[in-house]
Amino acid sequence: MQRTRDNNRGTAHEEWKAARQKEIDAENAARAGAQTAAEAADPILSFQKVSDAEAQAALETIRTGYIPDSMLPGVERMNGRVIANENAAIQNFKYFADTTPSFQLWMGYPLLNAAERSDLAPIASNYTALHNLMLVYSAYPDEPAQVAASASAVEEPAQQVLTPSQQAERNYIKRRTDLVVHDPVTGRNFTEFDLEHEVDSKTELRLRRLMEGRIGNERYTEFLNIKDWQAKQQAETAAKAAAEEMQQHREEN
């Protein structure tokens, strides 16, 4: 056994290994040459290889970078402008989501993230163009897994399993898009985000009481009547003060 190991480590063995490696290298070079020749002879195969590379580059751009006009022709960019009416922007997104059958809630965060990276104006037509582009390139992540309903839990329907980040994304979209209260005073609808960031504390308290049913029917009608009476009193007081000031000015002159 010792002699066999010594023979395998001898000069003859090393020469055989070197010769065998040359044969392997020659075989690999021949295969590579044959593949290159096949691609050159078959323009479809060559085109497919180039197309695959371009598609992969486009996919990376959609997922992580700024999407140029060549991929999204006709879209409107913000170009340094500031959103003056955020509620209108939210309604635009909600309209797009409600009128686009292929859009699902779990697509919301990737779509909004890509729109922000690409400086797209928050209008429905932009969301539609970007959504269709992401579908063409399969740029959306995989749909979150569903929990299968078990035979022992018939009373509870299967629920979607969300990661903490996905749940935060869903809550974020819900707070910005779901209308939670209608204000009869102004005729405006409000989302949870509006109540937290756009109205003063007194208005928020009034609207939340309305949501909870603590203001309604006769009580709320009485509230509106009181507000009308207060406005009338303020107008009369202001008119009286203006008349007195004018009379005093006349007497001084």
* 28 assigned to some structural domain: no
Contacts of 40 (CB under 8 A, 6+ apart): 46
* 121 assigned to some structural domain: yes
Q: Tell me the pTM.
A: 0.43
* 94 assigned to some structural domain: yes
* 126 assigned to some structural domain: yes
Is residue 41 predicted with pLDDT exceeding 60? Answer: no
Domains of the chain: total: 1
Tokens of 202: 């007194």
* 195 assigned to some structural domain: no
User: Which amino acid type is present at position 61?
Assistant: T
Kindly state the average pLDDT of the residues 64-69.
92
* 68 assigned to some structural domain: yes
Cross-strand partners of 77:
120
Categorize the per-residue pLDDT at 234 as very low, low, confident or very high, splitting at 50, 70 and 90: confident
* Range scoring the smallest mean pLDDT among 22-26, 193-197, 223-227: 223-227
Phi first, then psi, for residue 106 (nearest 5°) are -70, -15
Range of the structural domain that residue 67 is part of: 56-75+83-141
pLDDT digits (tens, 9 = 90+) for 179-215: 877 777 777 888 888 888 888 888 888 887 777 765 4
